[in-house]
Every structure is written in structure tokens, then in C-alpha cells.
Chains A and B, each alone.
Chain A
């Protein structure tokens, strides 16, 4: 105990006398070195912000092309499936989880004395910036986080400059007939692209199941679906390939976008806005 105190004092003294380069070194010694991420969104934030040697493991979802934007980068790290035992064995000094990570697992990890940091899902642009900075702080990589925020802001700005100003309404439809309401990341993106959002217009919040025929009757100008669902064979997603939907929302009104840009609120989310603008900018619409 005494020895650590003396060492600490010595380090502090060294820090005071040293220049900025050494201050960074000090920051490195205190920074987490074995970070385990259990959530697709914190995976990708960590990959963008951490020094590679800081990350011990990311979730298996970040290794999958359909859900993850940063597959190549994420595959440099071993994948985990988010069970408490598996995480514990990795001996992490920091575990990042999402608000909706399995509560029992998170609870258990906390009881085992793990340093667990929970991230809220981003619902708008300010909370995306907040999450980037939060990741920067816990990884002791604030500078890198600011760079990422700046790049994100620039990308959003350029999207807003090209925004579609037709006032057209975009509504989404996902597996099992769920459609997203207002006050969501989706509505933020749709509105940033210059459109009106069906869920917001109808005063819906959260994700609500809508019968297919009601969706046809609500008749948004564009239907938004995700490739994750549209290319999948399961019964839950069959409704997206329903002939009535295909006939009503003809190809020029049906925007099938890559899901991986929509799952997480992250820097690359700005790309989703560009996708929307590009997809609707065709002369046919």
C-alpha cells in the first residue's frame, strides 16, 4: 500500500516536471487495457476510438456483414457471445454494454466486481455525439473522440446541404410488421434527409405493429425497408415480400437500405442520410 503510494507520488512528480508527450504516456498507463464490448454499437465506437491494443474482445455481431459497418476492423479482435462466464474469463478491466444487453448478465458481471459501463441507445444526433465522447472519456482517448465527432458533424452537414426538400413522407416497415414511430433515430435520420417521417406525422412513438393493409392505406410516399429483412427467408420477414406490398409500393417508392447503417447511432450513421437522399434523388420520383 505504502509502496504504491510512493510510486504514485513519484509518478505525479514526474508528470509535473515532464512535457505533454509524457502526460500522454501517463494517460496510457491508467487507460483501460483489456476492454470487452458486449454490444454491437459499443463495439463499433470502441473500434473507432480505442487504440487497437486496448480492445480484448468485441461482440460476434460486429463480425457480421449484415449488422456491422466496421467488419474488417472488428475482425481483428476475438468475438464474444456475451455470456457472463465468457466475459469473466477474458479478465477485462472495462466492459461496455448497451442499455438492452441481457440484464441478468450485466447484473452478474457487476456482482463479480467488473467495471461495467452502460451506453444508452442513441435516439438523435446529440446523443450520438454524447456516446462518442463518453467512449473517448472511458478509454482515455478524448482527442480521438473529438476527431470522430468532427468528422460526423461534417458528414451530417454535407447531407443537410443536399437534403431533399420535396416534403415527401417516408414510413418504415420491418420484420413482423413493425413500423417505427417518432422520437427515434430513424425519424431523426429521415428528417435530416429533408423528409417527413410517417411515425412522427401520426404521433406514434416507439415501434408499433401495423397491419399490412393499414400501411397501404396510410400510403407514405416512400416505404423504407432494410436489406437485413428483405433478403432473409424467415417467416417474420415474409410480410416485407408480400405481393400486396410489392405491388402498392412500386420500385421507385420502395427504399431498401443497408441495415448496418441504421442499427446503431454512430459516426457512420451520417452515411444513412446520404443513402436516403441518393435513393430518392432519381428522376423517376
Chain B
């Protein structure tokens, strides 16, 4: 994990700028693509309309929150994947694979169906990030300084199935007739028909989580040279770890509370971008946040285009891209180890 310049690295500044421009373009496309067709011109004109204008209402109350959430959720998933991979020095770290998303789902489900979520607007994200905190702490405790790939995968598998089972249990115990059907949402995620309410209750937490995660950048750079080097450079590993735990838990917890568990974003995005930013963690973090946003907004557009009217789940799309990638990664890691 040397972070000088790898042959495929691109000039960092322009590369990041390019990602930014791409994110803005995809955001625009996300506003314009959907069951009700809106041309860019119509969209522009509709911006000034009021609630009696169909296009205005669709843009402001349905497409805009969806695009914002796609960007924010994707960004925090990509970012936390990059941080966890750097911190654990393990290429398989990802909030989805480690069971952090599934645990956050569990918290959200408990809050929703116990009636807790109705008491206060922030009860839902807080419950989700609480269970997410438990999950991240448990994982970091378990995996610790071990570089064993098997440990991290198995810990993630165990945590994911436990959280999934408890989520199903909570939903089955609920008196609500639709609860059992929602298991799919909490495990596969979706941004369909979210509203500005969901943006308000998740975005502050996602941003707070993002700030904490970005604060680990310098330490991750040092850490990529090895534990001992990092310590000798004056890096406080305990602090870095705390930042990563709470940043991931708060950000991913709040994201999952409104979108359900969406897998593989945090795995795929940092891996694709790492060689392009020259293997340098501090450069990878902003790139992964932008890349995650682009990836999730794009898959959310695909979900609308491929099977319109069928409400294809977002997690299905990310898994179809992510799972083969994961297998390829496992294969190449094994080959490298031999």
C-alpha cells in the first residue's frame, strides 16, 4: 500500500473536479428522469411554479428529495467504505458487508414499530445510529488489528444475519399488516417516494458523520505506512478509531434509517477509485464520497428506467453490480496471497 504515484493515477485536482461535474450532471438527470417525463426546459420553467403546477410539485416534492438522498446516502456509504478499508487495512471493509447497515435497519425498524419514531422526528435516525454504533464497535473490537480477511467476512456475516433475523422478528411481532412486507425494504433499500421530511431528518446526521470521517484522512495516510510508523509520526490511533466508529455509525445509521440497507457501495467505489488517486487515503476519501454519490444516483436512475412501475429495489441493483465485483476481489486477493 505505497501511496506514491501508481502508473494509473490521474492528476488529483482535475480528477476530483471531473467527479464533481459528473455528480452535478447525474443529479440533474435524476431530477428529469421518471414516470412523468420532464424536459430540461420544462423543468427550468417549473422551478418557479406553485403547488397547483404538476411539474413543480413533482420536481420539488418527489424528485428533488430523491436525488438529494441518493447523493447523500451514496456519498456517506462510499466515504465510510474508504475510511473503514483504510483503518482496518482490509480491502473488504464496507458498511454493508460488515453488518453495520443491517444493524441500522434493525434500530430503525424498532423505532418505527414501537411507536418511538412518532414521538420525536429525530427518534428514527437516532435509534438507527445507536444500533449502528453498537455494530461498528463490535466489529472493530473483534477485528482489531488483525489483518485476517476471513475474520472480517465472518464477523460481518454473523452480524448481518443476526440483525436481519431480529429485524424480521420485530416486523413479524408488529400488529401492522404491512410490516412483514417491509422486510424487503429494510434489507434491499429504496429511495422511491421519499419526501423532504426524510431529507431533513437524515441530512444533518449524514453531514455530521461525514465531517468525522473526513477528520481521519491524515491519520489514514500515516496508517497506510504501518502501525508503528503511524505511531512514531504522532498519530493518535485511538482518536482515529473513535472518529471512524462514530462517523460511520452516525452517517450510515441516519442514511439507512431513510433508505434501508444498501450494500456494496462502500466496497466497489473506493476500489475503483483507489488506483486513480494514487493509493493515497486522504485523496481517496473525497473521491469516494463523490463516487458513491454518482454510483447511487446512477443506480437509482437505472431502477426507474429498467423496470418502470415495478419498484425495483435499489439494493438489488447495487448488489448485481457489487456482488460479482466482490467475488472478483476475493479471487484476486487469494491469487495475490499465494
B324 sits at the interface (CB 8 A): no
> Is A214 a contact partner of B36 (Cβ separation < 8 A)?
yes
CB contacts under 8 Å to B, within A202-258, are 208-214, 216-217, 219, 232-239, 242-244, 247-248
- The answer on a CB contact under 8 Å between B112 and A177 is no
Question: Which residues of A lie under 8 Å from residue B118 when comparing CB positions?
Answer: 233
A211 x B178 contact (CB < 8 A): no
| Chain B proximity of A204: nearest CB distance (Å) | 11
Contact of A177 among B57, B60, B115, B311 (CB under 8 A): B311
A176 within 8 A of B: yes
Residue pair B178, A175 in contact (C-beta under 8 Å): yes
Flag the segment in B144-152, B179-187, B270-278 that touches A: B179-187
Per-residue CB contact flags for chain B residues 300-316 toward chain A (1 = under 8 Å, else 0) read 00000000111100000
A213 proximity list for chain B (CB < 8 A): 34-36, 58, 62-63
- Set of chain B residues within 8 Å of A247, measured between Cβ atoms: 51, 57, 61
Interface contact A209-B309, CB-CB below 8 Å: yes
Give Cα A276–Cα B35 distance, bound, in whole angstroms: 30
- A248 / chain B contacts, CB cutoff of 8 Å: 51, 54, 57
In the assembled complex, B113 has its CB within 8 A of some CB on chain A:
yes
Instruction: Give A154 Cβ to nearest chain B Cβ, in Å.
Output: 33
Beta-carbon contact of A244 and B182 below 8 Å: no
Min C-beta distance of A215 to chain B, whole Å: 9
Contact of A233 among B54, B115, B308, B310 (CB under 8 A): B115
- Closest B residue by C-beta to A232: B176
Query: What number of A residues sit within 8 Å (CB to CB) of B?
Result: 26
Q: Is B130 an interface residue (CB 8 A)?
A: no
Across-interface contacts of A235 in B (CB, < 8 A): 112, 182, 185
Closest to B174 in A: A234
Q: Write out the residue numbers on chain B whose beta carbons fall within 8 Å of the beta carbon of A211.
A: 34-35, 192-193, 308-309, 311
User: Residue on A with the closest CB to B310?
Assistant: A209
For B, the interface residue count at a CB cutoff of 8 angstroms equals 32
Cβ contact within 8 Å between A236 and B62:
no
| Nearest residue, chain A, Cβ from B124 | A235
CA distance A244 to B60 in the complex (A): 8
B196 lies within 8 A of chain A by Cβ: yes
In Å, the complex CA distance between A206 and B283 comes to 53
Q: Which of A177, A208, A219, A233 contacts B193 (CB 8 A)?
A: A177
Q: A211-B34, A213-B35, A243-B195 are in contact. Are A234 and B176 (CB under 8 A)?
A: yes
B54 in complex: contacting residue of A209, A210, A217, A236, CB < 8 Å: A217
* Beta-carbon contact of B35 and A234 below 8 Å: no
Interface string of B64-107 (1 = CB under 8 A from A): 00000000000000000000000000000000000000000000
Contact with A along B189-212 (1 / 0, CB 8 A): 000110111000000000000000
In the assembled complex, the Cα of A89 lies from the Cα of B179 at a distance in Å of: 29
State in angstroms the CA–CA spacing of A248 and B61 once bound together.
Answer: 11
Which chain B residue lies CB-closest to A237? Answer: B178
Question: In the complex, A214→B192 CA distance in Å?
Answer: 13
Q: Give the residue among A176, A219, A234, A242 with the most B Cβ atoms within 10 A.
A: A234
Q: Which residues of A contact B176 (CB under 8 A)?
A: 232-234, 236
Interface members, chain B 1-42 (any A CB < 8 Å): 34-36
Chain A residues with Cβ below 8 Å from B181 are 176, 236
Check: B117 CB closer than 8 A to any chain A CB: yes
A209 adjacent to B311 (CB under 8 Å): yes
A233→B57 contact, CB < 8 A: no
Tell me, in angstroms, the Cα distance from A21 to B62 when the chains sit together.
68
Contact in complex: B115, A234 (CB < 8 Å)? no
Give the CA-CA distance A233 to B311 in the complex, in Å.
21
For A166-195 the 0/1 string (1 means CB < 8 A from B) is 000000000111000000000000000000
Chain A residues, CB < 8 A from B35: 211, 213-214, 217
Contact between B195 and A244 (Cβ–Cβ < 8 Å)?
Answer: yes
Select one of B51, B115, B178, B193 contacting A242, CB under 8 A.
Answer: B193
Q: Could you tell me the distance between the alpha carbons of A232 and B177 in the complex, rounded to whole angstroms? A: 10
Bound-state CA distance A236–B153 (Å) is 32
Question: B54 and A219: CB pair below 8 A?
Answer: yes
How many angstroms between the C-alpha atoms of A239 and B176 in the bound complex? Answer: 16
Interface string of A102-130 (1 = CB under 8 A from B): 00000000000000000000000000000
Asked whether B193 lies within 8 Å of A236 as measured between CB atoms, the reply is: no
Residues B112 and A234 in contact, CB atoms below 8 Å apart: yes
Contacts of A237 in B (CB 8 A): 178
Closest-CB distance, A94 to chain B (whole angstroms): 27
Decide if A234 touches B179 in the complex (CB within 8 Å): yes
Shortest CB-to-CB span from B265 to chain A, Å, is 21
Selected A-B contacts with CB under 8 Å, 21 pairs: A175-B178, A209-B310, A211-B192, A211-B309, A213-B36, A214-B36, A216-B36, A216-B57, A232-B178, A233-B117, A233-B176, A234-B112, A234-B174, A234-B182, A235-B182, A235-B185, A236-B178, A236-B179, A244-B61, A244-B62, A248-B54
Minimum-distance CB pairs A-B, first 4: A244-B61, A236-B178, A214-B35, A247-B51
Since A177-B193, A209-B309, A248-B57 are in contact, a sample of 12 more A-B pairs with Cβ atoms closer than 8 Å, ordered by chain A residue number, is: A176-B178, A208-B309, A213-B36, A213-B58, A216-B54, A216-B57, A217-B54, A233-B117, A234-B113, A242-B193, A243-B196, A244-B61
